[in-house]
A = this chain, B = another copy of it.
Amino acid sequence: MIRVLIAEDQSLVMQGLKMMIETDSELKVTGEARNGKEAVELCEKNWFDLAILDIRMPEMDGLEAAKIIRERWPEIKVLMLTTFNDDEYALEALRIGAHGYMLKDADADSLIKSIKNCLNGGLHIQGEVAAKVVPRLLEKENPSPKLHHTLTPRETDILRRIGEGKSNKEIAEELALSVGTVKNHISVLLDKLDLRDRTQLAIFAIRNGLV
């Protein structure tokens, strides 16, 4: 029997995955976590063959959890689950050594196929992501993908507020800074994340679950 751990904060998606997985008599969901921290804790107590991790989760996100699991229990297959076609995250997931990258809005069949394929040692990346990601991998470690892990607390804070649609003036008032300072932090954010303006920052913030 293949033991599966699911880490997913949306209970509907959790139930859906569970149901789909257990239609196959070989597979059994023996662990359910609502964030990355819980997932790692479960791995400490029980053995799993496959971990399905949502990228966006509270407490500890799926990428961090994946990293820890890959380091400490390298035999466990890791499948990342995401809502969006975010190639930055896909790259990061691959770098960590995930065995698959699934989109939540894919149909049931291809999700099952991803799971099966992953268990058989395959690597599967769903969506248009693959087309964008593969060329990048071929250019050897590309230097651009600076993830939000490299952001300072101030920057993350400001990024979140941009994602809430606030103006520089509002952010400055809330944080007791001058607008100039806020603008400067934004310039740094734009540079780090390789984006162009606050609108793209807001989109990034939402896509990555900061808001």
Please report A residues at the B interface, Cβ cutoff 8 Å: 9-20, 104-108, 111, 162-165, 167, 195-200, 202-203, 206-207
Given A15-B16, A19-B18, A108-B15, does the pair A199, B9 have CB atoms closer than 8 Å? Answer: no
What number of copies of this chain does the assembly contain?
A: 2
A199 and B196 within 8 A (CB)? no
What would be 30 A-B contacts, judged by CB atoms less than 8 Å apart?
A10-B105, A11-B111, A12-B12, A12-B13, A12-B17, A12-B104, A12-B105, A13-B13, A13-B104, A14-B16, A15-B15, A15-B16, A15-B17, A15-B108, A16-B16, A16-B19, A18-B19, A19-B19, A162-B199, A164-B203, A165-B195, A165-B196, A165-B197, A165-B200, A167-B197, A198-B199, A202-B202, A202-B203, A203-B206, A206-B207
Which residue of chain B lies nearest to A205 when distances are taken between CB atoms in the complex?
B203
On chain B, the residues within 8 Å of A107 by CB distance are: 11
